[in-house]
């Protein structure tokens, strides 16, 4: 299996002005091709530093993919830096300059001298067409490495990656293995408890198992390497069956599944409509349910006047609201402790629970929403299974 490194270039990334989404996208793309990712890095717009970090990557990995620094301004040094790292120099390409000037002409503009530097490419590099921008991408091939330079603009990067880079990698590297990943989502149990249940599986070599904890949700990652997709899928499927047998209904879905969708669909399965009311959560519960655009969710309710607790509010709403289910959530912060209060009314049962949360107050609403959605899911599921 070939190994790769991704280097995101841009001082704006180092300063935190924008997020590096390119690395995540490229990582997932090459993962699906069966390419191992050794390391990712971010470096500023400094020619010498870029050359240094690329040379380091060349000593470890066959494939180096960079994004950013291919624009027309002075602080776009990637072309020169990559030429330095490969011990070569830049060469002017008249056909690229013609393409750039033509694109500007069609847009009713005139390409200036600064745009001309985009037509300079490291000697003997393979030029990659950029159908959605002016910055040509390229590949420098050495005895050991392929250094692939892509624009930093996400739309341009994705287009060139799909149209040119993936075919190049498939043609020039022995991609005989594939790596597949499945994420199992759990709610209602902590990371420590889940770790106890499947710790022996986390020691496996292939497939591998890992945990990622969020506020009220723990994800289980299964990754399998095999000769083809079918074998990788079989490895994942067999391990998934074992994990599901140990964790049961703590697992609410996999991959793209969300807790809010699973919970609302469980309520819909009972024929229930749902309304919500919340206090000091920035409307997070409403936001997550309303994005589903499910007609069973009737929206958020207004607070009845002169009531002091979320329980009293839910009681008042249930008398006036047509919804079958009322979800009530409040978060009150006092002395750095967040009191999360959950109240649920359904046609078959009522539920109330309070949690003293000592973590960061900004995470308290997230935890509260996940707790109340998990409880709704369980109430509806148990009601369905009892029929």
- Average pLDDT by stretches of 10, the chain with 387 residues: 95 94 96 92 95 97 95 80 95 84 77 78 92 88 96 95 96 89 96 97 96 96 92 96 97 97 96 94 96 93 81 86 91 92 96 95 96 97 66
**pTM, 2 dp:** 0.82
By DSSP bridging, strand 137-141 and strand 146-150 are: antiparallel
d(CA 220, CA 211): 5
Helix (H, G, I), strand (E, B) or coil at 106: helix
CA distances from 38 to 1, 13, 60, 163 (A): 11, 21, 8, 24
Helix (H, G, I), strand (E, B) or coil at 129: coil
In the chain, ranges of CATH 3.90.950.20 domains: 262-385
In the chain, ranges of CATH 3.30.70.2860 domains: 178-254
Using CB atoms within 10 Å of the CB of residue 68, give its burial: 0 to 12 exposed, 13 to 18 middle, 19+ buried. buried
Q: Which two tokens stand for residue 55?
A: 């040379």
Q: DSSP label at 67?
A: E
Residue with structure tokens 């301004």?
Answer: 73
pLDDT at residue 373 in the model = 98
pLDDT at residue 385 in the model = 56
Residue with structure tokens 């003293």?
Answer: 356
Nearest alpha carbon to residue 151 among 68, 247, 210: 68
Pick the CATH number of 262-385 from 3.90.950.20, 3.90.960.10, 3.30.160.20, 3.10.450.50: 3.90.950.20
5 near 57, Cβ under 8 Å? yes
139 near 125, Cβ under 8 Å? yes
Sheet holding 126-128, edge to edge: 36-43, 3-9, 63-67, 146-150, 137-141, 126-128
Pick the CATH number of 178-254 from 3.40.50.300, 1.10.10.10, 3.30.70.360, 3.30.70.2860: 3.30.70.2860
The class level of CATH for 3-172 reads: alpha beta
pLDDT at residue 384 in the model = 55
In the chain, ranges of CATH 3.40.980.10 domains: 3-172
pLDDT at residue 117 in the model = 79
pLDDT at residue 318 in the model = 84
Strand partners, 90: 122
Nearest alpha carbon to residue 329 among 316, 313, 317, 318: 313
pLDDT at residue 251 in the model = 98
């Amino acid at each position: 299996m070939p190994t790769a490194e991704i280097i995101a270039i841009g001082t704006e990334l180092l300063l935190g002005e924008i997020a590096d989404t390119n690395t995540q996208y490229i990582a997932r793309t090459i993962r699906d091709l069966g390419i191992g990712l050794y390391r990712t890095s971010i470096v500023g717009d400094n020619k010498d530093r870029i050359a240094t970090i690329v040379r380091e990557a060349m000593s470890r990995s066959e494939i180096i993919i960079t994004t950013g620094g291919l624009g027309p301004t002075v602080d776009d040094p990637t072309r020169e830096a990559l030429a330095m790292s490969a011990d070569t120099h830049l060469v002017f390409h008249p056909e690229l300059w013609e393409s750039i000037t033509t694109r500007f002409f069609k847009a009713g503009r005139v390409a200036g001298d600064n745009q001309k530097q985009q037509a300079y490419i490291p000697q003997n590099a393979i030029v990659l067409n950029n159908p959605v921008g002016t910055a040509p991408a390229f590949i420098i091939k050495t005895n050991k490495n392929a250094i692939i330079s892509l624009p930093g603009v996400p739309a341009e990067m994705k287009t060139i990656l799909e149209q040119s880079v993936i075919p190049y990698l498939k043609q020039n590297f022995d991609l005989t293995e594939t790596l597949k990943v499945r994420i199992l989502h759990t709610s209602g149990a902590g990371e420590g408890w889940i770790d106890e249940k499947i710790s022996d599986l986390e020691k496996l070599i292939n497939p591998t198992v890992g945990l990622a904890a969020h506020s009220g949700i723990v994800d289980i990652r299964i990754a399998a390497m095999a000769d083809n997709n079918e074998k990788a899928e079989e490895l994942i499927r067999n391990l998934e069956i074992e994990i599901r047998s140990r964790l049961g209904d703590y697992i609410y879905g996999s991959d793209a599944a969300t807790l809010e969708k699973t919970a609302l669909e469980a309520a819909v399965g009972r024929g229930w409509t749902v309304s919500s009311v919340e206090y000091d959560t920035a409307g997070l519960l409403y936001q997550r349910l309303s994005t589903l655009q499910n007609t069973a969710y009737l929206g958020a309710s207004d607070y009845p006047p002169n009531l002091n607790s979320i329980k009293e509010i839910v009681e008042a709403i249930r008398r006036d609201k047509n919804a079958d289910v009322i979800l009530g959530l409040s978060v009150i912060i006092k002395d750095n402790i967040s009191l999360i209060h959950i109240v649920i009314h359904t046609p078959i049962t009522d539920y109330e629970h309070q949690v003293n949360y000592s973590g960061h107050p900004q995470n308290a609403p997230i935890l509260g929403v996940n707790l109340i959605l998990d409880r709704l899911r369980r109430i509806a599921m148990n009601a369905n299974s009892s029929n």
